[in-house]
Chains A and B, each alone.
Chain A
Amino acid sequence: MKILVCIKQVPDLESRFKPDAAGVWFSDTDLAFRMNEYDEYAVEQAVRLREQLGDSAELTVLSIGPDRVVEAVKKALAMGCDRAVHVQDTAVHLKDPWQIASIIAAYAGDQGFDLIFTGMQSQDRGSAQVGVSLAEQLGVACATTLVGFEYADGAITAKRELEGGIKGVVKLRTPVLVTCQLGLNTPRYPTLPNIMKAKRKEITAIPVAELLKEEARTTATSFHHPAKKGSGLILEGDVGDLVEKVIGILKEKTSVLR
């Protein structure tokens, strides 16, 4: 069985974000990066399946981005992926989810993956579109927002998180793509011996130009901090005065009372 897990490197959300020079995304100067949280659940679940199936399975991890994303890739290798693909792209942040999915589809198209894991969404852009678009472009079934996963005899049983606390269970035959949600599992730590072993695993680098065929369908036009809101007004006094004051403010500053 061939398994693929797709991961993204995102900035630490504790960071202070500033717009980049073009004003369409955040500047990555002085930011610390890590693996997207939802992708960690994807890697963990993929590694568990790899362990369940033993050496009859091969698990590939893929990431798109500049050289620094190799750090996230190496973490995935240390968690138990067998090999890696780094699609080299210094302008990945300017591509829309459809293009990102098309890049992965171009790589995965003729590889015959039986199972593809992705995170539910990224922590930075948060579109939640790459996984489902990839399934669409590859023409395989997909199940989103997984909080439970089992595999047996060529089929998966996926527990999905639906709205309002409801869960749904679906059964799908492979090939299939799943997107992983918080609560699916607790990702393991990459241990020091496994970090060492990961150094010997193969990382294939592919320039993005070899895989990118699609035009962007959406474009980010501006990236900025939300406008500062004025501070609230606190009124004090007895109830009669407060009512007078509120009516005065509503008349003066709004069209609620004329």
Chain B
Amino acid sequence: MNFELSQDHKVLQSAVRDFVEKEIKPIAMKIDEDHMIPDTLVTKMSEMGLMGSYFPEEYGGAGLDMLSYAIVVEEVSKACGSSGVLISAHTSLANGPIYTFGTEEQKQKWLPNLNSGAKIGCFLLTEPNAGSDAGGTATMYKREGNEFVINGGKIFITNGGYLGTGILFASFDRSLKHKGISAFIVDLQSPGVTILKNENKMGIRGSYTTAFAFDNLRVPVENLLGKEGKGFNIAMDTLNGGRIGIASQALGIAEGAFERALAYSKERKQFDQAICEFQAIQFKLADMYARIETSKLMIYKAAWMKDNKMNYTMESAMCKMLASEAATYVTKEAMQIFGGYGFICDYEIERMYRDAKITEIYEGTNEVQRVVISKMLLA
């Protein structure tokens, strides 16, 4: 057994860390204030190869593995949770299902532009009345000649505002519930696609969260992903991988807050000593670090299992659950260590506190993760 990263993974980790330190960290606060990741940063992240880390080189990916991808999202999220989820949703939820379920023609057509970051990907599953219960999908499609015609709407779509390439889920018969759902690859610049709004949010404010309406959106039949009626399975499989990405985002947010809190506890003096000399603070640091390390081990294990083609459903659910709860815990304690300063926007801890919460909710709420884990235990 070996818990060390390989030399290649260490090279990657330090390369991404240097990139984040120079290119993302200095503007993370501005990204939050502006509700926008600047296009120049998206371009730089694309040139760095962060948008297609684990897909083969023949499709324009970097050819690395899932563990490399987890490290990328973690390192980016240490500085900026918004940039972390941009990469995670794009890679896991758009590139991922096309690579896993697409035909050779579909992979050749769509993946190079996604892996290079020329198009930003998104995953269009959630609807006003279909969140955790994706079987309730009310966006409908029917076939007309060589096209599918789609009508309905989607909400809370991460990266939607880029109008890039989407994986869209729609039903041909609502009474079939999840068995009526199919998946389509959609160019979101097509006629019939309307952005209703980009949401104003508590956290990850630099990330687009978009509501869409589809009015007679016409999609060529060759854009059907997988078989008709198999959309739900595609969505669930995709979210398995996505959870590793979101867990890595949560881990990065927690680590970013922890690093700052640890440093601050050594600098800040009260009663003539650094506050890290007080056991009340020492215990906080110990609890925070233990949760971070536990999450990291589970994330790296889940990624390693995916790389080794093992069934990683349970581990991906556990790592998402552990890391997101570590993120909300660690950012909360970090703010307590910072005291009043933590509540002031200049110190970034409040941003991390706000960014952390969503990781317990999206990519399957933590309640759904517990359902997944317990179902497998009792199966």
CB-defined contacts of A71 to chain B, threshold 8 Å: 7, 10-11, 14
B118 close to chain A: CB less than 8 A: no
B64 touching A192 by the CB < 8 A rule? Answer: yes
Cα of A161 to Cα of B354 in the assembled complex, Å: 48
Q: B12 in the interface, Cβ–Cβ < 8 Å?
A: yes
Answer whether residue A159 sits at the interface, using C-beta atoms and an 8 A cutoff: no
**Interface range on chain A: under 10, 10 to 19, 20 to 34, or 35 or more?**
10 to 19
Contact check, A195 vs B15: say whether CB atoms are below 8 A apart: yes
A192 to B48, CA, bound (A): 6
Q: Is the CB of B15 within 8 A of A75?
A: yes
Once A34-B14, A75-B14, A189-B19 are accepted as A-B contacts, the answer to whether A196 and B62 lie under 8 Å apart by CB is yes
How many B residues touch A, CB cutoff 8 Å?
A: 20
Q: Is A176 an interface residue (CB 8 A)?
A: no
* Interface pair A189/B18, CB less than 8 Å apart: yes
Knowing A189-B48, A191-B47, A192-B68, say if A74 contacts B8 (CB, 8 Å).
yes
The closest CB in chain B to the CB of A74 belongs to B11
Q: 0/1 per residue, B239-282, Cβ < 8 Å to A?
A: 00000000000000000000000000000000000000000000
- Inter-chain contact B11/A196, CB cutoff 8 Å: no
Given contacts A189-B15, A191-B47, are A70 and B7 in contact (CB under 8 A)? Answer: yes
Q: A196 vs B63: C-alpha distance in the bound complex, in angstroms?
A: 6
For B53, what are the chain A residues with a Cβ–Cβ distance below 8 Å? 192
A75, A196, A198, most chain B CB atoms within 10 A: A196
**A65 on interface, CB distance cutoff 8 Å:** no
Interface centre among A34, A68, A74, A189 (most CB of B within 10 A): A189
**Interface presence of B57 (CB below 8 A):** yes
Shortest beta-carbon distance from B115 to chain A in Å: 9
What B residues does A194 contact at CB under 8 A?
Answer: 49
Interface centre among B7, B18, B53 (most CB of A within 10 A): B7
Complex alpha-carbon distance, A189 and B14, angstroms? 10
Q: Are A78 and B15 in contact (CB under 8 A)?
A: yes
Is B48 within 8 A of A199, CB to CB? no
Tell whether, in the assembled complex, residue B63 and residue A193 are in contact, meaning their CB atoms are under 8 Å apart: yes
Report yes or no: B62 in contact with A192, Cβ–Cβ below 8 A.
Answer: yes
For B57, list chain A residues within 8 Å (CB).
Answer: 193, 196
CB-based nearest B residue for A35: B14
Residue-wise, chain A 32-63 has the 8 Å CB interface mask toward B (1 for contact) of: 00100000000000000000000000000000
From B7, B10, B18, B50, contact of A192 by CB (8 A): B50
A194-235 CB mask vs B (1 if < 8 Å, else 0) is 111011000000000000000000000000000000000000
A190 at the A/B interface (Cβ < 8 Å)? yes
Report chain A residues within 8 Å CB of B62. Answer: 191-193, 195-196
Q: Which residues of chain B are near A189, meaning CB under 8 Å?
A: 15, 18-19, 48
Closest-CB distance, A66 to chain B (whole angstroms): 12
* Contact partners of A74 in chain B: CB under 8 A: 7-8, 11
- On chain B, the residues within 8 Å of A190 by CB distance are 11, 15
- A191-B14 contact, Cβ under 8 Å, with A71-B7, A74-B7: no
- Please measure, in the bound complex, the distance between the C-alpha atom of A147 and the C-alpha atom of B213, giving whole angstroms: 57
* Residues of chain A contacted by B50 (CB below 8 angstroms): 192
Nearest A-chain residue to B10, judged by Cβ: A71
Smallest beta-carbon distance B22→chain A, Å: 8
1/0 contact string of B15-30 vs chain A (CB within 8 Å): 1001100000000000
Would you call B49 and A192 a contact (CB within 8 A)?
A: yes
Report yes or no: A195 in contact with B8, Cβ–Cβ below 8 A. yes
In this complex, the member of A68, A70, A195, A199 whose beta carbon has the largest number of chain B beta carbons within 10 angstroms is: A195
Closest to A76 in B: B11
Q: Is the CB of A191 within 8 A of B11?
A: no
Least CB distance from B203 to A in Å reads 27
Q: Which residue of A lies closest to B47 (CB)?
A: A191
A75 to B10, CA, bound (A): 10
A71-B7, A191-B49 known; A196 vs B15 contact (CB < 8 Å): no
Q: How far is the CA of A189 from the CA of B46 in the complex (A)?
A: 13
Contacts of B72 in A (CB 8 A): 192
Query: Mask for B47-61, Cβ within 8 A of A = 1, else 0?
Result: 111100100010000
List of B residues within 8 angstroms of A192 by Cβ? 12, 15, 48-50, 53, 62, 64, 68, 72
CB B353 to nearest CB in A, in angstroms, measures 26
Q: How far is the CA of A12 from the CA of B64 in the complex (A)?
A: 26
A77 vs chain B, min Cβ distance (A): 9
| Residues from 93 to 120 in B contacting A, C-beta threshold 8 Å | none
Q: Give the distance to chain A from B15, nearest Cβ to Cβ, in Å.
A: 5
Enumerate chain A residues within 8 angstroms of B18, measured Cβ to Cβ. 189
CB distance from A1 to the nearest CB of B (A): 27
Bound Cα distance A71, B143 (Å): 55
B residues near A198, Cβ cutoff 8 Å = 11
Which residues does chain A contribute within 8 Å of B8, judged by CB atoms? 74, 195, 199
One of A68, A70, A195 near B64 (C-beta < 8 A)? A195
Distance of A189 Cα from B7 Cα, bound (Å): 17
Q: Would you give the 0/1 interface string for B278-311, flagging 1 where the beta carbon is closer than 8 Å to chain A?
A: 0000000000000000000000000000000000
- Closest chain-A Cβ to B16's Cβ sits at a distance in Å of 8
Which positions in A face B, CB cutoff 8 Å?
Answer: 34, 68, 70-71, 74-75, 78, 189-196, 198-199
List 14 additional contacts besides A70-B7, A71-B14, A194-B49; criterion CB under 8 Å: A34-B14, A74-B8, A75-B15, A190-B15, A191-B47, A192-B15, A192-B62, A192-B64, A192-B72, A195-B62, A196-B62, A196-B63, A198-B11, A199-B8
B residues within 8 Å of A by Cβ? 7-8, 10-12, 14-15, 18-19, 47-50, 53, 57, 62-64, 68, 72
What are the nearest 5 A-B pairs in CB distance? A192-B49, A192-B62, A196-B63, A191-B49, A190-B15
- Interface pairs (6), CB distance under 8 Å: A75-B11, A78-B15, A191-B49, A192-B53, A195-B11, A196-B57
